[in-house]
Structure 1
Amino acid sequence: MNETAVPRERLRFSDPRAFVPFVLVALIWGSTWLVIKDQISVVPPSWTIAYRFLVASVVIVLVLKVRGQRLRVSRRAWPVVIIVGVTQFVMNFHFVYRSEATLTSGIVALFFALIMIPNSLLARVVLGERVSKGFVFGSAIAIAGVALLLAQEYRAAGASDGVMLGVLFAILATVSASIANVTQATDRAHDEPFMPLLAASIIVGTLVNVVLALMLDGPPVWDSRPSYLGGIAYLGIIGSILTFPLYFMLIRNMGAGRAAYIAVATPILAMLLSSLFEGYDWTPLAVGGSLLSLTGLVIALKARH
């Protein structure tokens, strides 16, 4: 193994190396869903995503220079770079932005918490990690809760087909991110220095995003609103360069299934922000669905994998 590679170990949440990144990522990602909602403006999602990761690419290259690391990965690692770059930084975000065009940000965040299910199932197939009956039971409860929330969204939108399209995009976003998560936990990913691997993945994703934006929406479009500009900076630097290294380190050190614990905390803050800024209507159906979802997530994640 490369001497600079991240050591493989399984950390408990009581360990500061797991607890501190967990709290930071949950707080930041809990807020990014609302910022993404504001990014849906006159600028097509394709260009907004491209701007976000152009900023992220510049910043992560500067971080590598400060750390004294080179932007270099082995030839053997390029499949990992391409898979993570395309699934995490292209497909995932394209589907998320389109999902939020029809669903409230808090609902998308809570729906995305179900990433633990494909994470664990893919980890079972790819990495041989065990899936327990308790995990299956808790996952079923969480899915039932999300179904209630989606029923609430469907009613609020007047039985609009847009809600169902938003659900489809949310599912595709979750599966895309899950593929990237599990790829980060493979032996091939472990054998590479972490930050250069992440930087290469972000740069690959950025190039693909720019090409897609040109193909789908033509020349660049810009929004001069301060909130839009601030959102690009926040999502590109704080929501990407600060959090993705922390999150992928958790995946490496805890496993793809257990790292999904963060999905329980993130939507709680996202739902609170949605209530404050989007006027989310907390009907009995919505309250019941939220409680059922979070209960199922806790049961599933407390079960041994």
Structure 2
Amino acid sequence: MSDPAPTGPRPNSTKLAVLIPFGIVTLIWGSTWLVITGQLGVVPPTWSVTYRFLVGGIAMLAWAAWSRQTLWLDARGMAFAVLLGLMQFALNFNFVYRAEMHVTSGLVAVVFALLLVPNAILSRIFLGQRMGRQLLVGSAVAMAGVALLFTHEIRRDPSAADEVYYGIGITLLGVMCASVANVMQATETSKRYPMATMIAWAMLAGATMDGAFAWLTTGPPVFEWTATYIAGVLYLGIVASAVAFPLYFGIIRVIGPAKAAYSSVLIPVIAMLLSTLFEGYRWSLLAGAGAALAGVGLVVALKARRPAR
């Protein structure tokens, strides 16, 4: 999975071409935690995940066709898409949806901010990307902020201790699966194929696996024919998947998985801000300090240049 050493100028992660999609992805995924809670209840979580990526995959194929990209992959590309679908769109999201049945969405979002750590480690192992001193400092500051947010969410989560630990555990499994998928996007194999086509087939492969698992474990398809649920499926499938994932994977290809994972550091802050507007969330000094540290760490890290490999 190793990439050859770069020969051109090192990418600047503070350019608008990176910052704009970075901001869009962060805002979109910061909103999904609220929407996902509305997908739980009547419909088993795995069926909700299935519908999301079925919609997302169809939308991505439509985009690929409209932009005149090839709609087919060779055997190697299809195998890569299936593995990507398994890690990102099947395992990762099933873990996340189930975690929100045991702990608050805010706590799940905070735990997912730890994506930065496995992304940095796996990037070093498989891509040969080292973290420079400034990136390490930024990461340390951001993780301190995440720790404060984590402490705050643990204190406000009304769940029993066993429920909290179980929810955190399956969220961490989701983090590891997402990290593998992130690093896959930075490999030369991924770059050989049109992104829209690759993501489309990965989503459809993930939806197929999700649907098979859902049928085996919960029975035939269940759907909630309410405006709220349908709107949630469409938002998660089109905006949070077909729009956000190509933007995010594009960022990974430019600045690497470690820096790209900083979106996960800001996402819980966005989620908390939206919760303030729509759910009456009340900030504490601890939460405010954590959000501030996360922001400072982000600025420091994104200004760091990727060291030579």
TM-score scaled to structure 1, two decimals?
A: 0.87
1:293 and 1:41 mapped to 2: Cα distance?
32
Secondary structure of the corresponding residue to residue 39 of structure 1: coil
Q: Which amino acid aligns with 2:270?
A: L
**Corresponding residue for residue 150 of structure 1:** 150
Q: Which amino acid aligns with 2:225?
A: S
Between stretches 133-142 and 220-229, larger displacement belongs to: 133-142
Conserved? CA contact 1:50–1:206, under 8 Å: yes
Secondary structure of the corresponding residue to residue 38 of structure 2: helix
- For the structure 1 residues 197 and 119, does the alpha-carbon distance in structure 2 shift closer, same or farther, using more than 3 Å as the test? same
Conserved? CA contact 2:70–2:194, under 8 Å: no
- For the structure 1 residues 192 and 10, does the alpha-carbon distance in structure 2 shift closer, same or farther, using more than 3 Å as the test? farther
**Corresponding residue for residue 257 of structure 2:** 256
Between stretches 284-293 and 186-195, larger displacement belongs to: 284-293
**Corresponding residue for residue 67 of structure 1:** 67
Q: How does 1:45-56 map to 2 (within 5 A)?
A: 45-56=45-56
2:199 and 2:122 mapped to 1: Cα distance?
21
**Corresponding residue for residue 127 of structure 1:** 127
Q: How does 1:61-210 map to 2 (within 5 A)?
A: 61-156=61-156, 157=158, 159-210=160-211
Conserved? CA contact 1:115–1:175, under 8 Å: yes
**Corresponding residue for residue 215 of structure 1:** 216
**Corresponding residue for residue 22 of structure 2:** 22
Q: Which amino acid aligns with 1:180?
A: A
Conserved? CA contact 1:55–1:236, under 8 Å: yes
TM-score scaled to structure 2, two decimals?
A: 0.86
Number of residue pairs aligned between Structure 1 and Structure 2: 298
- For the structure 1 residues 10 and 43, does the alpha-carbon distance in structure 2 shift closer, same or farther, using more than 3 Å as the test? farther
- For the structure 1 residues 192 and 100, does the alpha-carbon distance in structure 2 shift closer, same or farther, using more than 3 Å as the test? same
Displacement after TM superposition at 1:301 (Å): 4.7
Cα deviation per residue 1:248-304 (whole Å; 9 max; x = unaligned)? 111112222222233344332211112333443433333344444444454455555
- Matched-pair identity in %: 43
Q: Which amino acid aligns with 2:209?
A: V
Between stretches 194-203 and 147-156, larger displacement belongs to: 147-156
Displacement after TM superposition at 1:30 (Å): 1.5
Q: Which amino acid aligns with 1:283?
A: S
1:250 and 1:9 mapped to 2: Cα distance?
16
Cα deviation per residue 1:13-34 (whole Å; 9 max; x = unaligned)? 4544323322221221121121
Displacement after TM superposition at 1:214 (Å): 0.5
Q: How does 1:288-299 map to 2 (within 5 A)?
A: 288-299=289-300
Gaps of 5+ in 1: 1-7
- For the structure 1 residues 20 and 287, does the alpha-carbon distance in structure 2 shift closer, same or farther, using more than 3 Å as the test? closer
Q: Which amino acid aligns with 2:223?
A: W
